[in-house]
Structure formats: C-alpha cells, structure tokens
Amino acid sequence: MRAAQGCKRFLEDLGDHLDGTLSGPAHLVFERHLQVCGSCQFLCATVEKTIYYYRTWDAGPIPADIEARLWKALESRMRSPRNSHA
Ligand SMILES: [Zn+2]
C-alpha cells in the first residue's frame, strides 16, 4: 500500500476540511488517514495553527502569497523521497 497516495488525497481534501465543507465518505477517508499518518497529522496541525493565528489576529483572509507558500511547502514535503518524518 502506497501511503503517498493517501497523503495526496489528504492534501486535496485538506482545504475542504478547513472550510468545513468536507463531508460524507470523503471526510471519513480524511479522518482515517489523519489517524494513521504522522506526516499528515503534522501538516494538518501546522496548517490549522497558521489559520488559527490569522483568525486570532483578526487579520482577515490569509494573504494569497502566504497561502501559496504554505501549500508549496506542503507539496514539496509530500514529494520528498524521505517522507518519513514521524
Ligand atoms: Zn498522509
């Protein structure tokens, strides 16, 4: 079983999860992967923390360049051959 496939799906669904629009089977798959994948737990926590800070500061929506940089970092982490961070 290729974990990276699940991670790719997880990343695709992460945005919907954060928007609160992820539901049904996709949400189940998302939650299940989060329970078993240390890398995605780390990623999810990082993203949620970042968004939480922005909301706490009442800074409005995350600036597009910062969001783009965040996603780029996440993607490069997923592409890394040494993906076993946990
Ligand atoms: Zn994962």
32-75 per-position pLDDT tens digit: 999 999 999 998 998 888 877 777 766 566 677 777 887 787 77
Confidence of residue 26 (pLDDT cuts 50, 70, 90): very high
Give distance in angstroms: CA of 62 to centre of ligand 1: 24
Residue 80 CA to ligand 1 center (angstroms) comes to: 13
Q: Are 83 and 77 in contact (CB under 8 A)?
A: yes
Q: Is residue 70 part of a domain?
A: yes
Rounded to the nearest angstrom, the distance between the alpha carbon of 43 and the centre of ligand 1 is 9
Please tell me whether the overall predicted TM-score, pTM, comes out greater than 0.75 for this model. no
Tell how far the Cα of 58 is from the centroid of ligand 1, in angstroms. Answer: 30
User: Does residue 34 belong to any structural domain of this protein?
Assistant: yes
How far is the centre of ligand 1, averaged over its atoms, from the C-alpha of 36 (Å)?
8
User: In sequence order, which residues have a C-beta less than 8 Å from that of residue 10 and are 6 or more positions away?
Assistant: 30, 33, 34, 37, 40, 43
Classify residue 58 by its DSSP letter. Answer: T
Q: Which domain holds residue 55?
A: 3-79
Q: Examine the pLDDT at 15 and tell me if it is beyond 70.
A: yes
Position 21: which residue type?
A: T
**How far is CA 52 from each of CA 9, 34, 59, 65, 68, rounded to the nearest angstrom?**
23, 19, 11, 17, 17
Residue 85 lies in a domain: no
Number of domains in the chain: 1
Distance 23 CA to ligand 1 centre (A): 19
64 versus 30: the higher-pLDDT residue is: 30
Residue 84 lies in a domain: no
Which tokens sit at 78? 């997923």
Residue 20 lies inside a defined structural domain of this protein: yes
